[in-house]
């Protein structure tokens, strides 16, 4: 479990950095569009540029735990009827997410041969760079191997990681207020479905849904086409929603961590990493921003990352002590959110971080006299 905790912390740090790189690339593209529009004497605005990044607002943050509860109930009550649909949707999402994860590697490998600006047209499907095509093909091959073998390392390891990276890189938390609403709501959601769902449904709904395998679509279609060989060879598939690691203590057993326990604190880490970079960029030229006290030397990102690691450690110890599934957000949210709030208060940034800190209020062009 020490290796798994280190792996989760490294993955969260990587996804936060990847998200920051995407934002910097978008800012550079917006600037290039503004320059080209100015040279053509046509008005342009950064808000006109299309962005693939989704920002969560307060309303969405409060409704997300409710939507997650409804989705969990649907998967619990109607799993047998919809398991083939779940498996097909999983394959599609995993292909897109893992292609996103493999894109930087493909860009690096193809950089000596092709320029990233050269795109190949696929008709109505759109135009794609060679690196995007390569990453998609590799991802498609991996998903096909998962469908054929059903191996846990592909879906509950690599493809699950791809889903986490894609979600954290493409979703934004705009302020500490929205972050708090989202994490506290999901904390209550996690605690209810892990601890109290068994009193209503006579079983732990969260664990039941996370560990239930689905019928292989290949086997389902082979059964309808009366191909007994394929039906017999098609393995059941483990759906995403968790990462699993071989247990150190019990051979043949696995330790499990939900993807939401990585993604949701990861969104907070992404937010504070962006704020650290934004605050550093606001320093006047020539100023180094030298820390005046000991806690000023610690960035918000490192504070939250250390809290995330300690939260994972506490969740693991609790699971070993009580010999039962634990809602990881019960430990991750206090260990990441509370130190962040305290540090922001001590540094005097709490009010600014609580409201949307990245909105730049431009001074009026004309002054009233």
- Residues serving a catalytic function are 190, 261
CA distances for 208 relative to 129, 167, 239, 294, angstroms: 42, 24, 12, 46
φ, ψ dihedrals at 137, nearest 5° = -65, -45
Residues for the chain: how many in total?
A: 369
CB-count exposure of residue 261 (10 Å: 0-12, 13-18, 19+): buried
- What span, in angstroms and rounded, lies between the C-alpha atoms of 310 and 287? 34
The Cα 240–Cα 96 span in angstroms is: 14
- CA–CA distance, 314 with 331 (Å, rounded to integer): 7
Residues 206 and 193 sit within 8 Å (Cβ to Cβ): yes
**Contact by Cβ (8 Å): 236, 149:** no
CA distances from residue 22 to 16, 27, 115, 130, 332 in whole angstroms, order as listed: 10, 9, 18, 19, 26
* C-beta of residue 191 within 8 angstroms of C-beta of residue 325: no
Dump the DSSP string for 252-271.
T-EEEEETHHHHHHHHHHHH
CB crowding 3-27: b at 16 or more within 10 Å, else e:
ebbeebbebbbbbbebbbeebeebe
d(CA 195, CA 204): 8
User: For residue 55, what are the β-bridge partners?
Assistant: 172
Pairing of strands 54-55, 171-172: parallel
Instruction: Tell me 364's DSSP state.
Output: P
């Amino acid at each position: 479990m020490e290796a798994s905790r280190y792996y989760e912390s490294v993955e969260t740090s990587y996804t936060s950095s990847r998200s920051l790189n995407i934002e910097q690339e978008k800012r550079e593209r917006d600037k290039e569009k503004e320059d080209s529009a100015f040279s053509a004497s046509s008005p342009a605005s950064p808000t006109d540029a299309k962005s693939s990044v989704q920002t969560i607002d307060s309303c969405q943050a409060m409704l997300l735990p409710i939507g997650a509860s409804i989705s969990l109930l649907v998967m619990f009550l109607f799993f047998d009827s919809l398991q083939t649909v779940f498996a097909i949707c999983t394959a599609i999402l995993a292909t897109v997410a893992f292609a996103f994860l493999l894109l930087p590697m493909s860009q690096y490998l193809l950089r000596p041969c092709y320029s990233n600006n050269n795109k190949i047209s696929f008709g109505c499907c759109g135009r794609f760079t060679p690196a995007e095509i390569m990453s998609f093909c590799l991802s498609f091959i991996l998903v096909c191997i998962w469908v054929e073998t059903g191996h846990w390392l592909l879906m509950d390891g690599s493809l699950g990681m791809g889903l986490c990276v894609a979600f954290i890189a493409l979703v934004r938390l705009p302020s500490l207020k929205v972050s708090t609403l989202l994490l506290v709501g999901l904390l209550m959601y996690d605690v209810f479905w892990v601890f109290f769902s068994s009193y209503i449904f006579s079983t732990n709904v969260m664990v039941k849904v996370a560990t239930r395998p689905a019928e292989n679509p290949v086997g389902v279609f082979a059964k309808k086409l009366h191909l007994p060989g394929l039906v017999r060879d098609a393995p059941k598939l483990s759906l995403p929603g968790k990462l699993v690691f071989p247990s150190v203590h019990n051979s043949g057993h696995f330790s499990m961590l939900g993807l939401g326990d990585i993604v949701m604190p990861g969104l907070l880490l992404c937010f504070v990493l962006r704020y650290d970079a934004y605050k550093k960029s606001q320093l006047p030229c020539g100023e180094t921003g030298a820390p005046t006290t000991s806690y000023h030397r610690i960035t918000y990102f490192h504070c939250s990352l250390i809290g995330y690691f300690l939260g994972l450690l506490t969740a693991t110890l609790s699971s070993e002590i009580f010999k039962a599934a634990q809602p990881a957000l019960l430990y991750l949210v206090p260990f990441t959110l509370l130190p962040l709030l305290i540090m922001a208060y001590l540094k005097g940034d709490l009010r600014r971080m609580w409201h949307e800190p990245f909105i730049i209020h431009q001074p009026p062009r004309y002054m009233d006299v």
